[in-house]
Structure 1
Amino acid sequence: MEIDDNLPLRRDDPLNTLVKQDIDSLSVAELEFRIAALKAEIVRCEGKIAFASKHRSVADALFKK
């Protein structure tokens, strides 16, 4: 799987906009804040993945053939 396979397909997708932003003009503090925000978003996404996986497992067990 290519890394681009995980990128959003819509041009107006916030993630697509984020990865295309020029960060050259950002200060160290701004970059550190950005990293902290991105790490928090990663944790949030991982939580959603865990929830979805558990939900899927429960559904699979319920409707097991």
Structure 2
Amino acid sequence: MEDEERPRPQDKGAASHRLGQSLDALSLAEFDERIALLRLEIERLERARAAKAASLAAAEDVFKK
């Protein structure tokens, strides 16, 4: 597993986000941190999805021959 694919431990002070959690107590800076964190996670998921799709396509090509 490549380093960027491994889950990263969160620092005690690092932002984290749970889907559906209350947003009422967040400051503007905390919103910005969480948005940045979620964007990075989305990018990571998109890269992993693209890699899996490429792998599946390659496997299909091998078995079609």
Deviations 1:12-37 (A, max 9, x none): xxxxx812210110000000000000
Where does 1:1-65 land on structure 2 (aligned, <5 Å)? 18-64=18-64
- Which structure carries more helix by proportion? 1
1:40 Cα deviation from its structure 2 partner: 0.1
Deviations 1:1-60 (A, max 9, x none): xxxxxxxxxxxxxxxx81221011000000000000000000000000100000000000
**Structure 2 gap ranges (5+):** 1-16
CA distance in 1, matches of 2:58, 2:64: 10
Output the aligned Cα RMSD.
Answer: 1.5
Q: Sequence identity of aligned pairs in percent?
A: 39
TM-score under structure 2 length normalisation:
0.70
CA distance in 2, matches of 1:63, 1:18: 41
- Secondary structure of 2:64's partner? coil
CA distance in 2, matches of 1:20, 1:49: 24
